[in-house]
Each structure stands twice: as structure tokens, then as C-alpha cells.
Amino acid sequence: MIQLHITSTGKSYSPKDTYKIFDTQTKTFDNLIDAKSYLRKTYGKAKRVPMFYDDKDGKAIHCGYIIGFRVDKWLQQDWVAFQTVESMAL
């Protein structure tokens, strides 16, 4: 299974303002195709910037996207991280 961890941030148009978190969501999908389909339906062609994290060896791993767009009177960036979920025996 694939989970999307979505952290929504926003700020006003003022250059002095900073982005602040206003929502977090976790969405679960059976496969990567369904997860990417959800992103296309939700965000359309909004600008996407790859998001990375460093592994133990210092290698950059592509883990998701920062999706930016404008909403009425503010700018919004959603940080979308992909994670695999495995069941485990207890």
C-alpha cells in the first residue's frame, strides 16, 4: 500500500510573511498508480517541485513533491510525501 502524507501551508502575498502549516492529511491507496491519479485529480497542472531527503549515506532520495498554487488571497504550498506501508506479523 502507498500512503500520501500531505502537509498544507499558506501565506499572504506579502513578501514579509512566511508559510504556516494549516492542515495535515494522510491518504492511503492500493498502488502507486492510484496515488498519482489522486494527485492529478486534486492538483491538476499546478507547479510541482521534487522533494528529497538524504539517506544514511548522504544520497538524495526523491520522496515526493512540493505543489504550489494561488488561492483567492493567499499562496499555498502542499508538501506531498509518498511512503510504502507494509503489514507485519505480531
Q: Where do the structural domains in the chain lie, given as residue ranges?
A: 2-84
Edge-to-edge, what's the strand order for the sheet holding 47-54? Answer: 20-29, 2-11, 74-84, 60-71, 47-54
Cell of 6: 500531505
pLDDT for 87 equals 84
Cβ-based neighbours of 4, under 8 Å, separated by 6 or more? 25, 26, 27, 28, 29, 35, 38, 39, 64, 80, 81, 82, 83
pLDDT for 11 equals 96
pLDDT in tens, 7-56: 999 999 999 999 999 999 999 999 999 999 999 999 999 999 999 999 99
SS3 percent helix, strand, coil of the chain, rounded to 5, is 15, 55, 30
Question: Position of cell 505543489?
Answer: 67
pLDDT for 20 equals 97
Residue 88 confidence class, pLDDT cut points 50, 70, 90: confident
pLDDT for 65 equals 97
pLDDT for 28 equals 96
> Closest Cα to residue 35, out of 23, 43, 24, 46?
43
pLDDT for 82 equals 96
